[in-house]
């Protein structure tokens, strides 16, 4: 049992009617701002935060504040999130009646610092209940990763690294005895443990970390199977609300979409790829970390919420070093960096060729952009490599929404209309 920093908290609950399309029945939903009277960006959190579907409002502890929704984030219907400045700040009540099977807990999180923490938990983490946690113990000790925690005794590690400041959507599901964890819409882990979680006692809480949390949904499956297409509260890159700006899976059909310098090549030599049969491999052959991949220029829309989806991983053939990549957005002339984010992935045999899904939200300031992926850090001559594949850049809104196909009150602007349309489709 790895050590966690456990929060304390409190709560109780009841069932509400199922949403029309989802397989699971929400018993509580915390939008964390939108349904809190008087909530304003930067303002102190209300004494209670509202359960939008049930009667399980949460009580404030510490000093949470209302904040931007995860950097414009993965949930475009959100207008506020809650920032928690540390483990003593949270929203809490006594436990929700989730049972020990057929439940769903999902939400968005950005962690800014710290190690083993929880972002949402129902129960007493050391001994019972279920929730979403981070752990530094599961990834060969080299990095902090997103985990599901079941019953306080079963850590299910996704091996997806926590990147400080980067938003993630995490869903922990237990469905007819099978545990599943989704990260940014991708199924990362399926396991059927021999023991069920212990019934939750103690408290339910949200927060208790240094970072922001948003759009928490808790529900029961009630005999239905979890359906990620309808049940994940996540905007997939191919959602009809999105416009695809650029894609590159390093397949032969994509040739011409990128250039390389330094120690990076397009490889078919790995046995698994998140998409197709080819991926980009950095510092293979135990060469120094100096590879750079630059995309061709492509059209964007200045001011539009834009997302970079991609898979990045650490292939370890006995090597023990982390892999790091800098993801940048530049203008077409490569003169100005408009956005930059560094990602480091850990190592380990269990992580061999295991790519993690990332989604980086940004808003361009120009109408034509390029991407640049730069391998950095690490040591030369190590038997692990950085792998990159399946790059997709999308923006909101979709063209159909821009041409006025959505019925519109005259007082609303186009972008607001697009969000309303999105909300109709995506809200569960």
Query: Applying CB under 5 A, which part among 86-94, 278-286, 308-316, 345-353 lies near Ca ion?
Result: 278-286
Q: How far is the CB of 209 from Ca ion (least distance, A)?
A: 17
Q: How far is the CB of 35 from Ca ion (least distance, A)?
A: 9
The yes or no reply on residue 214 touching Ca ion (CB under 5 A) is yes
Question: In angstroms, rounded to a whole number, what is the distance separating the alpha carbons of residues 330 and 49?
Answer: 40
Q: How far is the CB of 265 from Ca ion (least distance, A)?
A: 12
DSSP label at residue 200: P
Tokens linked to 71: 């950097």
Q: How many CB atoms lie within 10 A of CB 379?
A: 12
Q: How far is the CB of 381 from Ca ion (least distance, A)?
A: 7
Q: How far is the CB of 71 from Ca ion (least distance, A)?
A: 13
Report phi then psi at 92, rounded to 5. Answer: -150, 160
Reading phi first (left if > 0) and then psi (alpha if -120 to 50, else beta), residue 41 is in: beta
60 membership: H or E segment, kind and range:
strand 58-61
Using an 8 Å Cβ cutoff, are 271 and 352 in contact? Answer: no
Q: How far is the CB of 192 from Ca ion (least distance, A)?
A: 30
Using an 8 Å Cβ cutoff, are 308 and 327 in contact? Answer: yes
The yes or no reply on residue 137 touching Ca ion (CB under 5 A) is no
DSSP 83-101: EEEEEEEEEEEEPP---SS
SS (H, E, C) 104-140: EEEEEEEECCCCCCEEEEECCCCCCCEEEEEECCCCC
Backbone CA torsion sign across 412, 414, 420, 421: positive
CA angle 144, 150, 155 (to 5 degrees): 35
**Which C-beta is closer to Ca ion: that of 32 or that of 172?**
32
Report phi then psi at 242, rounded to 5. Answer: -100, 150
Q: How far is the CB of 250 from Ca ion (least distance, A)?
A: 5
The yes or no reply on residue 295 touching Ca ion (CB under 5 A) is no
Residue 17-36 contact track with Ca ion, rule CB under 5 A, x = bound: --------------xxx---
- How big is the site for Ca ion, counted in residues (CB under 5 A)? 14
Residue 298 neighbours by CB under 8 Å, 6+ apart = 245, 246, 368, 369, 370, 393
Q: How far is the CB of 344 from Ca ion (least distance, A)?
A: 15
The yes or no reply on residue 267 touching Ca ion (CB under 5 A) is no
**Which C-beta is closer to Ca ion: that of 53 or that of 200?**
53
Residue 151 neighbours by CB under 8 Å, 6+ apart = 100, 127, 128, 129, 130, 195, 196, 197, 198
The yes or no reply on residue 275 touching Ca ion (CB under 5 A) is yes
DSSP 244-269: EEEEE--SGGGTTSEEEESSEEEE--
The yes or no reply on residue 276 touching Ca ion (CB under 5 A) is yes
**Which C-beta is closer to Ca ion: that of 36 or that of 231?**
36
Q: How far is the CB of 69 from Ca ion (least distance, A)?
A: 5
Query: Applying CB under 5 A, which part among 50-58, 169-177, 245-253, 337-345 lies near Ca ion?
Result: 245-253
The yes or no reply on residue 49 touching Ca ion (CB under 5 A) is no
**Which C-beta is closer to Ca ion: that of 6 or that of 66?**
66
**Which C-beta is closer to Ca ion: that of 2 or that of 424?**
424
Of the residues 23, 267, 389, 395, which one makes contact with Ca ion according to CB under 5 A: 389
Of the residues 135, 143, 249, 324, which one makes contact with Ca ion according to CB under 5 A: 249
Beta-bridge partners for 325: 343, 375
Q: How far is the CB of 274 from Ca ion (least distance, A)?
A: 7
Residue 73-112 contact track with Ca ion, rule CB under 5 A, x = bound: -----x----------------------------------
Instruction: Give me the residues that bind Ca ion (CB under 5 A), please.
Output: 31-33, 78, 214, 249-250, 273, 275-276, 278, 283, 385, 389
């Amino acid at each position: 049992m790895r050590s966690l920093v456990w929060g304390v908290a409190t709560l109780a609950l009841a069932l509400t009617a199922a949403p029309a399309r989802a397989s699971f029945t929400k018993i509580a939903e915390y939008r964390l701002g939108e349904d809190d009277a008087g909530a304003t960006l930067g303002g102190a959190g209300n004494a209670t935060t509202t359960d939008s579907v049930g009667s399980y409002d949460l009580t404030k502890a510490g000093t949470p504040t209302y904040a931007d929704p995860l950097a414009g984030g993965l949930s475009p219907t959100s207008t506020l999130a809650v920032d928690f400045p540390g483990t003593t700040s949270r929203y809490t009540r006594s436990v929700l009646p989730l049972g020990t099977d057929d439940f769903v807990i999902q939400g968005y999180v950005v962690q800014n610092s710290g190690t083993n923490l929880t972002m949402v938990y129902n129960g007493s983490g050391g001994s019972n209940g279920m929730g979403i946690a981070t752990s530094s113990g599961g990834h060969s000790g080299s990095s902090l990763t997103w985990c599901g925690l079941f019953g306080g005794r079963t850590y299910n590690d996704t091996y997806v690294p926590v990147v400080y400041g980067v938003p993630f959507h995490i869903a922990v599901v237990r469905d007819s005895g099978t545990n599943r964890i989704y990260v940014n819409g991708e199924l990362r882990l399926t396991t059927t443990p021999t023991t069920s979680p212990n019934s939750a006692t103690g408290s339910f809480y949200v927060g208790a970390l240094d970072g922001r949390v948003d759009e928490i949904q808790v529900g029961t499956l009630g005999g239905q199977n979890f359906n990620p297409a309808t049940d994940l509260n996540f905007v997939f890159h191919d959602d009809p609300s999105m416009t695809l700006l650029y894609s590159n899976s390093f397949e032969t059909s994509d040739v011409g979409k990128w250039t390389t310098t330094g120690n990076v090549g397009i490889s078919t030599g790995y046995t698994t790829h998140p998409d197709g049969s080819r991926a980009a491999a950095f510092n293979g052959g135990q060469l120094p970390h100096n590879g750079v991949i630059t995309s061709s220029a492509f059209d964007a829309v200045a001011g539009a919420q834009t997302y970079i989806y991609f898979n990045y991983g650490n292939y370890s053939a006995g090597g023990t070093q982390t892999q790091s990549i800098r993801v940048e957005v530049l203008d077409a002339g490569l003169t100005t960096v408009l956005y930059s984010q560094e990602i480091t992935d850990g190592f380990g045999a269990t992580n061999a060729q295991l790519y993690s899904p990332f989604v980086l939200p940004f808003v361009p300031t120009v109408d034509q952009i390029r991407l640049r992926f730069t391998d950095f850090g690490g040591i030369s001559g190590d038997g692990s490599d950085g792998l990159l594949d399946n790059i997709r850049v999308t923006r909101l809104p979709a063209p159909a929404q821009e041409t006025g196909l959505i019925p519109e009150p005259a007082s609303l602007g186009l972008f607001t209309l697009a969000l309303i349309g999105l909300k109709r489709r995506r809200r569960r």
